[in-house]
Amino acid sequence: MRSPDQSRENNKKKVKVAYLVSHPIQYQAPLLRRIAQEPDIELTVFFGSDFSVQEYVDKGFGVDVKWDVPLLDGYRYEFLPAIWDKRRTGPTSQLNYGIFSRLRGNNAARGFDLLWVHGYSTLNALQGMLASKALGIPVLLRAESRLGRKQSDALKQIVKHLFFGGLKQLVDGVLPIGSLNAAYWRHTLGEELPQFPMPYAVDNNYFQSRSREADLRRGDLLRELNLDASRPIILFASKLQRRKRCEDLLEAYLSLCSEVGSEPVPYLLIVGDGEERAALERRASESGDAGVRFCGFRNQSELPVFFSLATVFVLPSQDEPWGLIVNEAMNSGCAIILSDDVGCQPDLVSDGVEGFVFPVGDVDALRDALRRVLESPETAKALGQRGLKRISGWSYEEDLIGLRRAISAVTRRLST
């Protein structure tokens, strides 16, 4: 049995990592649980708000959302006391206090060795980084940003230059989620700032196992949606917002169906809700096509059965920072079609390998990509299997490798 002195000594050997993030996020919870299992890392997560733990109105979906996966299990966390909390995301949505004293520690608990921050534009993130700077604690930064296609005007460029010049002084390293994010950090913070790749991943084991389980429930969903199992299925699953460009997919689908002839006519399943739904339903109704199904918002645990049904998953978005829904679909062995403005595309989908890539907003090119995937069941299956192989190497284990390298580099206290 360990003595109290031995336990204290073991705790001293652990690297104490504070993670500062706006609120519990369904995609991040499994990763935090995985990090918490490391014997030489003591992770504590500091949240600015608990709004996502309760039922809340998601502005993008336009409906009440309560996630059906555990958000807080398996890791140490604390909700920081609030000066204000607007119960949503945004640069000024939360302002909390107490991060300085927690990072510093006290007689009962030593301070933290490292602060890891998600995002850099919120009041809380900036406050946390400034507190760490004052305490001499190194900072690692992770965010979804990538370079936009539109050039900012001269004034905005000057403001950004000044902002990132200051931000660079607060950060000891960045954790790129993918190649476009890495390019963004080089552009904004310079080539010399250390980068430690930490891929934007989902819980691959969860989605692969749920996909296998979902095969047993395919029949129920086919009956619920009145679908003929012999017909191919095109799947869209995201918020029905303008930038998601679901209308491009609907138009491409209608164009494809008008030329299919004797081939099995595909279905189009639209999973999600939002401000564009009424217009999309109206267009589908006016077309007279009976193959479109609007399935509404579905929670995370429900999605694998939709992926199991799908022949191909399509994300035609514009200005999509990453698109984690693509990771989920690839874990289910779906062929993928993406616009070239989806952030994950360079890292996860090569044109003609795991699926097809088309220029954002080009409906004809999207229709042609659909036609190529649906040429035969064998084509879609081969694309999906290559996608499954690729996504299996884009996982939380790679995240852990990147995080450990970063911690080792900035604290000199952790072996990799």
Residue 325: φ, ψ to 5°: -60, -25
pTM here is: 0.91
Q: Indicate which CATH number applies to the domain containing 343.
A: 3.40.50.2000
- The answer to whether residue 416 sits within a structural domain is no
What is the predicted pLDDT for the residue at 76? 97
What is the predicted pLDDT for the residue at 264? 81
Copy the structure tokens of residue 60.
């993008």
- In this structure, the answer to whether residues 188 and 307 fall within a common structural domain is no
pLDDT tens track, the chain, 416 positions: 444 444 455 556 899 999 999 999 999 999 999 999 999 999 999 999 999 998 756 665 666 677 778 999 999 999 999 999 998 889 999 999 999 999 999 877 889 999 999 999 999 999 999 999 999 999 999 999 999 777 678 888 899 999 999 999 999 999 999 999 999 999 999 999 999 999 999 999 999 998 888 878 888 899 999 999 999 999 999 999 999 999 999 999 999 999 866 578 999 999 999 999 999 999 999 999 999 999 999 988 889 999 999 999 999 999 999 999 999 999 999 999 999 999 999 999 999 999 999 999 999 999 999 999 999 999 999 999 999 999 999 999 999 999 999 999 999 877 66
What is the predicted pLDDT for the residue at 11? 55
Region label for 57, one of left (φ > 0), alpha (ψ between -120 and 50) or beta (otherwise): beta
Copy the structure tokens of residue 304.
């694998």
**pLDDT, tens digit, for every residue of 189-227?**
999 999 999 999 999 999 999 888 887 888 889 999 999
Q: Which domain holds residue 45?
A: 4-201+395-411
- In this structure, the answer to whether residues 253 and 191 fall within a common structural domain is no
What is the predicted pLDDT for the residue at 353? 98
- In this structure, the answer to whether residues 190 and 101 fall within a common structural domain is yes
The Cα 384–Cα 392 span in angstroms is: 12
- In this structure, the answer to whether residues 405 and 382 fall within a common structural domain is no
- In this structure, the answer to whether residues 39 and 69 fall within a common structural domain is yes
Which one, of 270, 238, 230, lies nearest residue 251 by Cα?
Answer: 270
The Cα 185–Cα 124 span in angstroms is: 20
- The answer to whether residue 58 sits within a structural domain is yes
**pLDDT, tens digit, for every residue of 387-404?**
999 999 999 999 999 999
- In this structure, the answer to whether residues 352 and 385 fall within a common structural domain is yes
- In this structure, the answer to whether residues 246 and 326 fall within a common structural domain is yes
What is the predicted pLDDT for the residue at 12? 63
What is the predicted pLDDT for the residue at 276? 96
- The answer to whether residue 87 sits within a structural domain is yes
Domains of the chain: total: 2
Q: How far is CA 119 from CA 127, 141, 374, in A?
A: 12, 7, 39
The Cα 307–Cα 174 span in angstroms is: 33
- The answer to whether residue 366 sits within a structural domain is yes
